[in-house]
Amino acid sequence: MAPVPGPTIADIARAAEVSTATVSHALNGTGRIGESTRRRVRETAAALGYGTRGPRTRTLGLAVTTYAGLPWDFAGIAYFSRLITAATSAAHARGYALTTLPAERCAEALWHTLAVDGMLLLDSPAGDPVLRALRARRMPVVFDGRPADPQPADVWVDNDHAATTREVLDHLAAAGARRPALHCGYGGEHYTRAVTEAYEQWCGERGQRPLLVPFGPDDTPGHAFDALFAAPAGQRPDAVHCAYDPGGRQALAAAARHGLTVPGDLLLVCASEDPAYGEGDPAVSTVTLRPELLGESAVAALVALVESGHPESPGQLTVPAGLRVRASSRRPDMY
């Protein structure tokens, strides 16, 4: 016999005699509604059994909620595609399917009724509406990347971004860099904050002025670098650490436009899983965040949470990142 589906937002709205929008606000803790209405909606939802665990589906969900509601193709980015592939294999090995949700669906009410046993949330930002909906349902959740407001029982997998950033900057300094710039500052997820804070602290310890270059995903020519690259030799950066996958190509484009050679005038490191960086001229040094290990670790933790009902080890499960040194961050005389 097929299981009877649980109550929907529409069911709760009819029973509580309110709109579906009011139900969504009440369950998510958002919107300007009276406390008595919010309480009535939640009591109605509980009475109808909303959010209770139904029959197992043997299916896990995965969503990237950094830019919820925007139709961006995260699966086309090497980091996410490799993590998704590894997470799918890890789920299958444990007898679960893995459903990957498109980014534009991350702002819809489906999160209140999505039939999965647990969710992997990647880069969940502050005020994440998807997370609010899942918490209201008491859905097991494991995060890739530290959540903005972690709860005591939350589990997430991540790298030590502060240590990795310092490793990159120390490598650049050992190669002769004295004015490294950071190409970052896009998005509000933990990764961006951790890398930026580590860079600013590293600069402060050495009495150096931070040189922050704002990243834009559509800035293919790298115009964000123009002001710094056009400065006199003693003022412009002599190295760049790019925190996002397209950043290395943007920096190379800007350097070529300004007549700067890599690595002669400018050392370059980029956080990326794209193998093409190792095939160019020059080959670009990259930081790998090891997405395969992150995906496998996240699925293992989520399955354990789904099957036991409680986390084996709350807090962060740390996966070490790795610096792959290539020609772009070695001075010619270092060979």
Q: How far apart are CA 14 and CA 7, in angstroms?
A: 11
Which stretches of the chain score pLDDT less than 50? 1-4, 335
Strands 118-122 and 155-158, how do they pair?
Answer: unpaired
Q: Which residues pair with 318 in a beta bridge?
A: 158
3-state SS record for the chain: CCCCCCCCHHHHHHHHCCCHHHHHHHHHCCCCCCHHHHHHHHHHHHHHCCCCCCCCCCEEEEEECCCCCCCCCHHHCHHHHHHHHHHHHHHHHCCCEEEECCHHHHHCHHHHCCCCCEEEEECCCCCCHHHHHHHHCCCCEEEECCCCCCCCCCEEEECCHHHHHHHHHHHHHHCCCCCEEEEECCCCCHHHHHHHHHHHHHHHHCCCCCEEEECCCCCCCCHHHHHHHCCCCCCCCCEEEECCCCHHHHHHHHHHHCCCCCCCCCEEEEECCCHHHHCCCCCCEEEECCHHHHHHHHHHHHHHHHHHCCCCCCEEEECCCEEECCHHHCCHHHC
Q: Read off the pLDDT of residues 6-64 as tens digits, 9 standing for 90 and up.
A: 677 888 888 788 998 888 888 877 778 888 888 888 878 776 767 655 668 899 999 99
Q: In terms of domains, do 98 and 139 share one?
A: yes
Assigned domain for 9 exists: no
Q: In terms of domains, do 218 and 303 share one?
A: no
Q: Read off the pLDDT of residues 160-188 as tens digits, 9 standing for 90 and up.
A: 999 999 999 999 999 999 999 999 987 77
Cα-Cα-Cα-Cα torsion 134, 136, 141, 145, nearest 10 degrees, comes to 80
Assigned domain for 80 exists: yes
Q: In terms of domains, do 262 and 298 share one?
A: no
pLDDT score recorded for residue 109: 65
Q: In terms of domains, do 283 and 175 share one?
A: yes
Assigned domain for 113 exists: yes
Q: In terms of domains, do 206 and 248 share one?
A: yes
Q: How far apart are CA 46 and CA 333, in angstroms?
A: 69
pLDDT score recorded for residue 4: 42
Assigned domain for 39 exists: no
pLDDT score recorded for residue 52: 59
Assigned domain for 325 exists: no
| Radius of gyration, alpha carbons of the chain | 23
Q: In terms of domains, do 116 and 97 share one?
A: yes
pLDDT score recorded for residue 6: 63
Q: In terms of domains, do 181 and 137 share one?
A: no
Q: In terms of domains, do 181 and 278 share one?
A: yes
Q: In terms of domains, do 295 and 148 share one?
A: yes
Q: Which amino acid is at 13?
A: A
pLDDT score recorded for residue 16: 85
Q: In terms of domains, do 278 and 172 share one?
A: yes
Which residue range forms the structural domain that includes residue 176?
A: 161-288
pTM of the model: 0.80
Which of 259, 181, 164, 169 has the alpha carbon at shortest distance from 215? 181
Domain containing residue 245: CATH number: 3.40.50.2300
pLDDT score recorded for residue 54: 60
Strands 315-318 and 155-158, how do they pair?
Answer: parallel
222: left (phi over 0), alpha (psi -120 to 50) or beta: left
Q: Which amino acid is at 8?
A: T
Assigned domain for 272 exists: yes
* Domains identified in the chain, total number: 2
pLDDT score recorded for residue 51: 65
